[in-house]
Amino acid sequence: MTVADTSPDLFPPIPPEPAAAREPKLRPLERRIIQAVALLCAVSGLLAVQWVDEKNNVEKNLKPPEKVVSVQPETVGEFLGARWMALKRETAQPLASGAPQGDVTELRFTVGVRPDDAAAAKLVGGYGLGYRFVDGEGRHWSADGTVVGARRPQPGVSSLITVKGTVPRAKADALKLEIQAPKASRKAGDPLLSLRFER
């Protein structure tokens, strides 16, 4: 008598599965194709997430969209609670030095403005307004605006602002004056407001 006869196995042997019931194993080529497709999907998803993140970042941090109010010649434009009108436009030799400046000239605008209320008068007389000359091709040249006279703008009272900037002589006749609202007054998501005097 042997040990096998005296202590039989407690668990019966598991019969092998029939060949048809087993899942077929993937061949190496099929496995590589599936891995390549999965990698392609993962990379595409990662790129899409990065693109959306960059788009949101650009919208938050870059220059906001602009909303331009155009004013035709000899008409009054409403902007920032005040009424604006371009009264005079002239070119002159730049006053920076006595020597001729070559192909540049100083473009001067005289603009009349009448604030409707105290808040508009504070904006008009403040330092936040931006002045620039723009052409039809998207280029711009910075300018400085100063209130004429010693008095600051008052509500309901007309004031004059002189805007000066050095521009190329060849472009001086085609440039338009653009006044930009203070960036501090813009709420997040709102466009940057501008007033443009057309030619």
pLDDT tens readout for residues 76-89? 988 888 898 888 88
Query: Cα(first)–Cα(last) distance of the chain, in Å?
Result: 119
Q: What is the DSSP string of 150-166?
A: SSPP-TT--EEEEEEEE
Residue 53 lies in a domain: no
Q: pTM score, two decimals?
A: 0.62
Residue 10 lies in a domain: no
In the three-class reduction of DSSP (H, G, I as helix; E, B as strand; rest coil), residue 171 is classed as helix
In the chain, the number of structural domains is 1
pLDDT (0 to 100) of residue 100: 60
Please report, for the domain that includes residue 126, its CATH number.
2.60.40.1240
Residue 182 lies in a domain: yes
* Pairing of the two strands 192-197 and 130-134: unpaired
Residue 4 lies in a domain: no
In the three-class reduction of DSSP (H, G, I as helix; E, B as strand; rest coil), residue 64 is classed as coil
CA–CA separation, 45 and 41 (whole Å): 6
pLDDT (0 to 100) of residue 48: 93
pLDDT (0 to 100) of residue 199: 80
Residue 18 lies in a domain: no
Residue 123 lies in a domain: yes
| Enclosing domain of residue 145 | 67-197
Quote the tokens at residue 186: 């813009």
User: Which residue, among 187, 183, 162, has the nearest Cα to 95 in the 3D structure?
Assistant: 162
Residue 103 lies in a domain: yes
Which stretches in the chain have pLDDT values below 70?
A: 1-12, 17-24, 64, 93-101, 150, 189
User: Which residue, among 198, 143, 194, has the nearest Cα to 174 in the 3D structure?
Assistant: 198
Residue 95 lies in a domain: yes
pLDDT (0 to 100) of residue 21: 53
pLDDT (0 to 100) of residue 40: 94
CA–CA separation, 118 and 79 (whole Å): 14
Looking at this protein, which amino acid is placed at residue 152?
R
